[in-house]
Chain A
């Protein structure tokens, strides 16, 4: 098992996946069918457990130089070494954790022999096609992928995707079939399926990598895609009027309409597991919020769903279950866009599903997955929080005045622990509209007997004179060190920095993400704009009540913002306390793609 991810990622996203085209030694290529089959079989057998890009090198004959990415030649004739390619692709399949990989693994076991041949043909034929594959076609495939993934009704992945994908690539499969002098015309259907599968599986790694950041990035400023998404949606969303121009790339819906609609549909939503449904409602209503809370709630709901899951006849467990999970995820997205922690957890779960040994029975597989989920929650969240608290407690001294913003679960744990240890300190809780999360934290701290001061975010310049340390939580930390967290965190960190006060950000490692972000506008979540109008406790401030329909007035309710890394003095994670996070994030993000530490 070798971490060969980097070569692939460094080579960019859109290049052909076929490798070792001209460098394979003849002994492999001389008998295309025989070694191809065992090679493919071997590749297939190296299953889910295998990973990353090393396989190309190991599977192939010694003559190949896998790290050398040579663009395939344009003509099919030169493609004698088509045989290693299937092995390569198969092994690629091995390390691809997305749902699309699972079908191909299944296909492999289903029709190994044929598939090897056909893949042989199709891949080799597809090599020239690869060059000619236009962006439009790739996008068509992508669209088909999304359509399949977001389907409300769950259908076998192979059927639907193959159907749609092969529909998308009729030209390719036809050409694949015709170009090579192959005698395997007896399975045109399988061929097209395989071809489409091939296409599908060859593309996903780069696409998934793009898609993984942070999660299906739907282009909300593209009207057609929005319309398509609406048709598939379970939750009826009506777009908010008076959308802010700057945020046209993010979804902006009217919030009031969703909850009643969902409630009425409760008994109609067959494919939705009730615990997932419940979690979705909790997100919608705001009852469950916060990175850790939402992630744990989601994982527990999935655990319940897996417990109650039974594989439909003639379906493969991992493929089917992955599809089901995907449908649950799209439902949750409709309730509330995923947080980065949730995205990472979903990726983990799909990875585990995909890596299930094929020899397991259904109940064994289910219990294995459930224990995986438990392990994830325990290791990555519960124990990680304990480690963070133990690191951070060294930074709390007697007579400290600690400032915190909003309500972060980790920071609350730190303060509780410090209080239990008997340190003398006081806390300043800074809060802001519209969520006013700090009030909940304030109440819990005062009940424990901690001396607290409460103020609102405008007053931070006033209160910062008294502060000795600032503790902040984060929704995620991005690869360039930017802290992605509740809106207002950046202002707090900025003022603390101006006063020379250390800012300590506490974040579990599972929340890291490899993407980068420069400001808070590229990626964000837009909350309910009408909350801005309503000021609780001040009924007389109905100034803007009647103006909501005026087209000159827009209301903006941001949920997150990006704090630049230079405002942060130190980041406390379960892997230690660091100032520069980029190398750490690179290493640990990779762990989610392949291996787990």
Chain B
């Protein structure tokens, strides 16, 4: 009996064409940047892929994968988004916006508008608009984790905030949270498997979410009951999953370091800002006792004030846009580690059962029960899903960080540009006066 892992195995939900026989579902191949099709001059026009495979010899199944691959590369050249979503087959669009405060006798909470546009037949209508609160997102996430244990579920922003430390109803907090919820939902909607989950459908469409309170009490991080059964011990984790684990460990360390550095920068900038403000006021007060120098000094004071404003904006950006995304990835890494653990469990269970069954077969020739095969299927399915999700996650991670870091660079550039403009206009002002004075002197 083969224990090999065939590709593209059954997972729950319908599969769009994009998932069948995707040539890039394996981790290692680097994506080629340019068009795959080359035309050689002379002789018959032999059209071939850059890896040498001539086009004519491709079977229809491979042709579709070729089509996929070509489209993929085009999109990667452009500012690519999610691997799958960049395909022209995207047919589900979700947005989270419009936060509103609700005050009742029991509690005060925020709801967000969740808008959906879709052409999928799984949905009765092409458009939906519902209001959801954080609890509802949490419910969705738990449901997804339970029903899709082999897939990586995107993280939600932190559930609990210390009352008194953070104002849950401040504009900034709500804005940051809303962006994170929007990202969560978009990631789920872009996932080829998760997006077809019936719970997502309910979340997006139902007027009132009929959440069974019992399940809502399950914590996010807790293992699903199904997989803890048996207490099997894993013997040998395949190398590729070991590599994933190591990567995640190092990566989360680096994220933590970057978070600390960013926080330190914000702190230093804040202290710098305090001193800079006082600096500006000293120039203003000096201007008061001068005559000829009054305007230049006031000009300097104004420049300093402008720089203060620009700096404040820069720091705010770091706090509100940069840090939350960073922290979200830390949560993402934790989720991914969790999935790896579950995969280990699934493998351990299979190996455990197999060993027991083989021993029994040796003893009394009992055939290997169906359960063992089912376990094997489950494990292989898990491995395939995980690998696919891993690739997707890596690609998304690359795009997200590219965006995050270029954004940070942009904000810094803007800051310096604003300051430079302010000082340059001051020089013009000062120099005009100088030439005025000079001409009046010589007259």
- Please indicate whether A and B come from the same complex rather than being unrelated chains: no
